[in-house]
Chains A and B, each alone.
Chain A
Amino acid sequence: MVHLTIDGTRVQAKEGEMLLKVIKQLGIDVPSLCDHDAVEPFGACRLCLVEITKQSWDGWKKYVTSCLYPVEDGLIVNTQAEKVVEARKTLIDLQLARCPGSPEIQQLAADYGITQTSYEPKIDSDNCILCGLCTRICEHMGFAAISTVDRGPDRRIASPLDEPPPDCIGCLACAINCPTNVIPYTEKGNKRTIWDKEFELITCSKCGRKTITRDFARALSKMRDIPEAYFEVCDACHRAETATNMGRIAGWSRREEAAS
C-alpha cells in the first residue's frame, strides 16, 4: 500500500495501480477518452494530464498522463492546476480541429469553454481521434482484425489492405467502445455489416430473436471450448428452458400427469 494526496485528499492505493484509476475512484472529474480497463493503458489522448509533485522535490513539478503513471508513496497530485487545465484546453482544441463533427468532442470542448477551434478544422474529417482503443481491444480479444495504417496526417484505422478483414468475427466491440462512436455498422434482418464484411446473426431457434454472429459463436467454441449448441437459443428462451427443467426436478411432471 502506498499513501498519496490527490486534490488535498489523503488516499491509500495498491502498489502498481495507475494514478487515473485512483483519481476516478475518488469521483474526481478528469477527462479521458482512450482509457479502458480491459486493455493496458496507452496514453493516446493525453487528456488525463495531471500535475504531480513531492515534498522532497523542492517545489519542482511534473506533468504526466495519469493513465500511464503508477502511484508512488508521498505523491501530491493536483488534477485541476492552472497549467493542467490550460494544457488540456489546448489538447481539446486540437482534437476539435481534427474532429469538428464529433458530438462527444464538442461536448468536451463546451465543458472547457471552447466553442470554436482556434486551428484550421479538418475538412471531410472521419471524426476519429486515433486513440487506437478499437485495435487494442480487438487484439486483446485475440482477433487483431484491424490496425492503424499509414503515418503522419494520413494515419487511420483500417482493415488489412482496406478489404473485409478475414479475422473479424463481427462482435462490435470496436464500434461499441469507440469513445467518439465513429465506427459504422449496420444490422438488417439477420445480417450485420461492419468493416465491409457481412455476418450472419444467429436466430434463436425458438423465438427468432437475433443474438451474436455465427462467426463469433464458432470462434468462442473453438477458443474457449464452449459447445456450439449453447448459442442456438437466446437468453430468454434459455431461461424458459431452465424453468421447465427446474420444474421437472421439483416433481411437477408427475403432478401434471396426475392432474390429467
Chain B
Amino acid sequence: MTNRFVVTPNLCIGCRTCELACSFRHSVNGKPGQTRIFAVAGPMKEMWVPVTCLQCEDPACAKSCLVDAISRNEETGAMEIDQEKCVKCMACVAACPFGCSIHDQQHHMIVKCDLCGGEPACAQFCPTKALVYQPVGSAKPKVVA
C-alpha cells in the first residue's frame, strides 16, 4: 500500500464525473454498472462531498459478513467483495456506518469501492482534483484553525 486516496470536498463542484467514471469502469456485460462513489450535497447549497468507501482499519462490512466474503487486498489496501462467495444477505449494506456498501439492484449484487485495483477511475477523471490518488507522504499537511 504505497498510495493514498485523498478526498478534498472544498474542491468538489458536484459534476458527478466520478460517478460516471466509476459506472463505466465497473460495467457489467458492456453496460454501465452501479457507481461506488456518490457526489452528495453537503451541509450547504453548492457544497458537495464525494462519498466513497474509506477502507476502514476495522471495517464493519467485513465484520458483518458471516461468510467471510469481504477481505483486504494486500496490494491496494482496499476491502474487496468476493462476488462468488457473497450470499447477498445485505448485512454489510446495513452495517456500513458510511453507507458505502451498495446493493446494485439492476444486477442484484453487493458492490463497494475496490480502488479499481490500484488505478481509481474517479481520481483519473476528476476535473478539479477533489479526488486524488497519490503516493503516501506527498500530500501537503493543511493547517486548520
Min CB–CB distance A74 → chain B (angstroms): 27
- Per the bound structure, the CA–CA distance linking A237 and B64 in Å amounts to 19
Q: Is the CB of B89 within 8 A of A173?
A: yes
Whether A235 contacts B96 in the complex (CB less than 8 A), given A251-B144, A252-B47, comes out as: yes
Stretch at the interface among A57-65, A105-113, A159-167, A242-250: A242-250
Query: Number of A interface residues, CB 8 Å?
Result: 47
Complex interface bits, B13-55 against A, C-beta within 8 A gives 1, otherwise 0: 0000000000000000000000000101111100111010000
Task: Give chain B's interface residue range (CB within 8 Å of chain A).
Answer: 35 or more
The total of Cβ contacts below 8 Å across the A-B interface reads 138
- Give the one of A38, A142, A212 with max B CB within 10 A: A38
- Per the bound structure, the CA–CA distance linking A238 and B90 in Å amounts to 15
B69 sits at the interface (CB 8 A): yes
- Per the bound structure, the CA–CA distance linking A220 and B90 in Å amounts to 11
Q: Is the CB of A235 within 8 A of B101?
A: yes
Q: Is the CB of A226 within 8 A of B64?
A: yes
Chain A residues closer than 8 Å to B102, beta-carbon distance: 235
Classify the interface of chain A: helix, strand, loop or mixed: helix
Q: Which single residue of chain A is at the shortest CB-CB distance from B97?
A: A230
Complex interface bits, A223-259 against B, C-beta within 8 A gives 1, otherwise 0: 1111000110111111111111011101111011001
Q: Write the residues of chain B forming the contact surface with A, with a CB cutoff of 8 angstroms.
A: 7-10, 38, 40-44, 47-49, 51, 60, 63-64, 66-67, 69, 82, 84-91, 93-103, 144
Q: Write the residues of chain A forming the contact surface with B, with a CB cutoff of 8 angstroms.
A: 36-39, 137, 140-142, 171-173, 176-177, 202, 211-212, 216-217, 220, 223-226, 230-231, 233-244, 246-248, 250-253, 255-256, 259
The 10 closest A-B pairs by CB, nearest first: A238-B99, A247-B42, A243-B40, A235-B99, A239-B99, A243-B49, A37-B84, A38-B67, A141-B66, A171-B89
